[in-house]
Structure 1
Amino acid sequence: MARLLTSKDIRSLSRGLAISPTKKWGQNFVVDANTVRRIAAAAKLESDDVVMEVGPGLGSLTLALIEIARRVIAVEIDPKLALALPTTVAHRAPEEHQRLTVVEADAARIAADQLPEPPTALVANLPYNVAVPVVLHALETFPSLQKGLVMVQAEVGDRLTAGPGSKIYGAPSVKMAWYAKASRAGSVSANVFWPVPNVASGLVRFERIQSPDADRVQVFGAVDAAFGQRRKMLRQSLKSWAGDEVDAVLDRAGIEPTRRGESLDITEFIALADARGGGTAPRAQEA
C-alpha cells in the first residue's frame, strides 16, 4: 500500500524541488491524507480503470489512485513537477509505481494521441481557473471517458450541475449535460490545501451519457449566444448566432422568442440547432 503524503512531506518535497505553488497554474496542493482517501473512494473506480489525473502536483492524490486503478496517467503542465512525480511515487509506492505514466502537457489542449491509452475515468483536483474547459475538453477529446470525479471551486461545481431556471444555470451546465449526468458529491474544507484558497471547494461526479445526434458546434454556438446576453430575450441574444433568421429559427424550434437562455434545457438548444439547419446565418465557432 502506498504511503500517502502528509503536510510535512509536501512542504519537504517543495523545498527539495525549490518550488512553491503558483497562481499561474492555479496550484493548491492537498495536504490531508484523509481527504485524499475520500476522493479516491468517491470516484468509484474499478481495478481495470485507466485514470486520467489532471494536475497531480506533488502526488497526493496520485498515490491513492494507483492503489485502485490499473493505470494512472498524470497530466502535468509544470515541467519540474512532471519530472519529480515518478520518483516520489516510486519511493512511496514501490509495489504500484509501474502503474503510473506522467505526460507533460496542458490538459485544456491535450490531444488523444498524447496519452498511451484511452482513459476510462477522470479524477482530479482541478485548477480553479481552468476547471470547466478542462472537463469539457476531456469529455470531447476522450470518448472512452465513462465517469469522473473532480474537485473544483464550489461555485463552479454548482454551475456544472445546475438545472434550467436556476440563477446559476448557464453555458457550463448545458454543455456538461450534452456529455454526462453530473451531480454534487460533497464539499471540501479549505484547510486541507496548501496554500489555503480563499474560495470554497466541492466535488462533482459525472457519468457519461449517449451524446445527442445533433451538430455539437451549432448547439454550443446557440448556448454561447444565449448566455452571452442572458438578461436579454432570445429574439435579441441569438442574433449573433442566427442573424436575420432568428425569428424563423425560433418559430421552427417551437420556442417563444420572449424566453431567455436560462429557461432552455439541452433538448431545446438542440431543437434550435436543428431549426437553424443549413441556413444562411453565420456559422457558430467551435466552443
Structure 2
Amino acid sequence: MKSNLQRLSQQKMFLYRATMRVGNLWCQEEETEGSVVSFEVAGSSIPPSTHPSLQEAGDGLCVAAPLCCALCRHNSTAVAVVWRKMDDDDDDVPQLSSHTLAALQEFYLEQQQREGMKTSQGFNQYSVGSIEEDWQLSQFWYSEETASCLASEAIVAAGKGGRIACVSAPSVYQKLKEQDGTDFSVCILEYDRRFSVYGEEFIFYDYNNPLNLPEHLLPHSFDIVVADPPYLSEECLQKTAETIKYLTKGKILLCTGAIMEEQAAKHLGVKICKFIPKHSRNLANEFRCYVNYASGLD
C-alpha cells in the first residue's frame, strides 16, 4: 500500500473520497464531485463498488485496502481510499484522516501477524484462517465457535466410522481435522487449489461441473454432506445441490443466506434451523443453516 500511495502522490492526485464499510454501513470521511473508475487491491483491478454514491464514469483511481471485501457475496467489511486526478492548478497533496490511516495500519498489522504465525514452530495448518480468505473466490470463514458447532454436528450425524464431505466449506473441514478423527473420515471438495496442501483429502471441485468428480467418489458414499455454495444465486445452489445429492446417503447440512430458504427447500428438501452461524468478519447478509434430518442445531 505504501508504494501505491507514493505513486499516486507523485502523479499529482487529490483525495476524492475515503470510505469505510462496516457491515452494511458506509461512513464517508469527506466527499467532493468526481467519479470512480476502478479499485486496485493488491495490484489487481476490480470493478467499482456497487455502492450507489460511487458512479462508474470519468477518470480516476481507487486504492482499496480490504479488511475483508465489500464486493463479494456477503458485502463484508472493507476500507476503501478513492482518488482521482486533480486539476493542473491545484497543488494540494493527498491527505488521509487519522481514522482512515489507523484502519489501514490495523489491516496491514493483521496481515504481518498472520504471516508471522505461518513461519512459527507452533503453526497449525488446520486452524481456521491458516489459509486466508480470498475475496476473488467469495471466501468468508466461519467464526471459531460456528466452525466447531458445525463440525460437532457433522460428527454426530455421520455416526461412528462415518464419512463426511465438505463441499465449499473449508473452515468446517479444518475444524474437523482438529478433532480426534479416529471415528470418522472427511474430505474437502474445493475450487481453491491452495487447499491441496491437505493431500489426498483435497478434491478439486467446480460447481459449474457438479458431477465432474473423481471415480473413487462413489454415489451415495457419504453419511453427511456439509455444503456452503460460494454464491447466493439459484444457479449456484442448484448445481451444488446436484453434487450434494450424488454424494450423500441422505443427510444434508447446508449453509447459505436466509434469502435462499425457498430455493434450498426446492432443490434439497431442507428446512431452516434455529442455529445462526457467524463468520469471522461481520457480514451484511443474514446467514442460516438448513438440514433434512433431526439435528442438534434446533
> What range is the shorter-chain TM-score in?
0.3 to 0.5
* The structure with more strand, counted as a fraction of residues: 2
* The structure with more helix, counted as a fraction of residues: 1
